Amino acid sequence: MRTEVAIVGAGPAGLLLSHLLGLAGIESVVVETRSQAHVAARIRAGILEHGSVEVLTDAGLGARLRAEGHRHRGIYLQWPHERHHLDFVALTGRGVWVYGQTELQKDLVAARTAPVFYEVAGTRLHELTSDRPYLTWTAPDGTAQRLDAEVVAGCDGSFGPSRAAVPAGERRTFERTYPYSWLGILAGVAPSTDELIYAWHPNGFALHSMRTPAVSRLYLQVPAGTDPSDWPDERVWSELALRLGDGERGWRLTPGPITDKSVLPMRSLVQAPMRYGRLFLAGDAAHIVPPTGAKGLNLAVADAALLARALTAALRERRWDLADAYSRTALRRAWRSTHFSWWMTTMLHATGDPFDAELQLSQLRWVTSSRAGATGLAENYAGLPLAP
């Protein structure tokens, strides 16, 4: 087989890149290790920045998002006995949208025109420093496959083969692992809040989010290595009620049936550069952020939009200037998002150190009482403009 762009990974970054390239008349083929059902069912991010919604709308992918998603003006920041609303629209003119990654994945699958090969095994990337790179893999029926291309896009997440295809001497990896995780639950109950609640508590951080008017998404800070079975449903709801301030100021947390329970490790990782020869990395293949700042999915959208423009110029106009600048431009955004995610994480997660606790409370009071502090959080959360 031959195509112009070989894409490794059929998650949001890979399918969006394929879609954007298709709009520009550029052929692509996507290969994915997992099954289509597995990729579609992954419960991940649920917040889209203002700029991400613009990218999706311009690409013809915004109809269901705008009909079924929920636009939020801001978030609540909370600590014991206090809750403050930050109105992003009033501060910056930009809000965010609640729209689950599973829903965006459905939109991308429905809109796809390029071939996608699922459940492939042993994907390898070859001749990346030549002008004729190619992929090899084994199909589900056991046959060996080869795909020749002009460019390879690695959109296969943090554990795929693309990142590792960059030789050790050609890459730098920056990583931080946090000493806590998130216990995430999906509950079949209407959200108890109109917008997300980020809560600092001595027992640990808690977040009240949502997926639909009938489905709530909630998180609790737990020690790294926690087993979800250590948290029966009754314990989950009891701790959420405590950390979220159930009963304070007349607000009530409504419990309901828990349909999914999992533990999410917290880490930051950036690999640089995001290009090696004809290989370009995008999304989680290049960077991982803790979910506190709601940046992972949005970085994937930004990378795909930036890379699509660069490859369109390279393959249609034979101008490689945007491709040459891709890594540098994408990394600036990745590091800004990494810093913001670190800042939100360290402000809100309990460490057990009284000194840290007083610093965190001081920071929360400043952010919620200073227009400058609130605007800084709002600018980063709602999303900086996409690079030209």
Q: Express each pLDDT in 139-166 by its tens digit.
A: 999 999 999 999 999 999 989 999 999 9
Does the active-site annotation cover 291? yes
Catalytic-labelled residue, pool 198, 219, 276, 326:
198
What pLDDT, on a 0 to 100 scale, did the predictor assign at position 386?
75
Mean pLDDT calculated for residue range 100-110: 94
Q: In what order do the strands lie in the sheet with 197-199?
A: 82-87, 74-79, 197-199, 206-212, 215-223, 172-187, 258-272, 287-288
Give the pLDDT confidence score for residue 227 in this predicted structure: 97
**Active-site residue, from 99, 291, 326, 349:** 291
Q: What is the mean pLDDT of residues 251-274?
A: 96
Q: pLDDT tens for residues 48-89?
A: 999 999 999 999 999 999 999 999 999 999 999 999 999 999
pLDDT of residue 387: 60
Mean of the pLDDT values across residues 187-198? Answer: 97
Query: Which tokens hold the place of 169?
Result: 């001497």
Pick the catalytic residue: 12, 19, 50, 72? 72
- Please check the confidence at residue 44 and state whether its pLDDT lies above 80: no
Check if 198 is active-site.
yes
232 is catalytic: no
User: For this structure, is 276 an active site residue?
Assistant: no
Tell me the C-alpha to C-alpha distance, in Å, between residue 311 and each of 22, 42, 69, 155. 11, 28, 31, 15
Per-residue pLDDT reduced to its tens digit, 367-376 = 999 999 999 9
Question: Which pLDDT value is given to residue 148?
Answer: 98
Q: What are the residue ranges spanned by the domains of the chain?
A: 5-72+95-175+267-348
Active site residue 72: yes
The arithmetic mean of pLDDT across residues 263-285, rounded, is: 97
Q: Which CATH architecture has domain 5-72+95-175+267-348?
A: 3-Layer(bba) Sandwich (3.50)
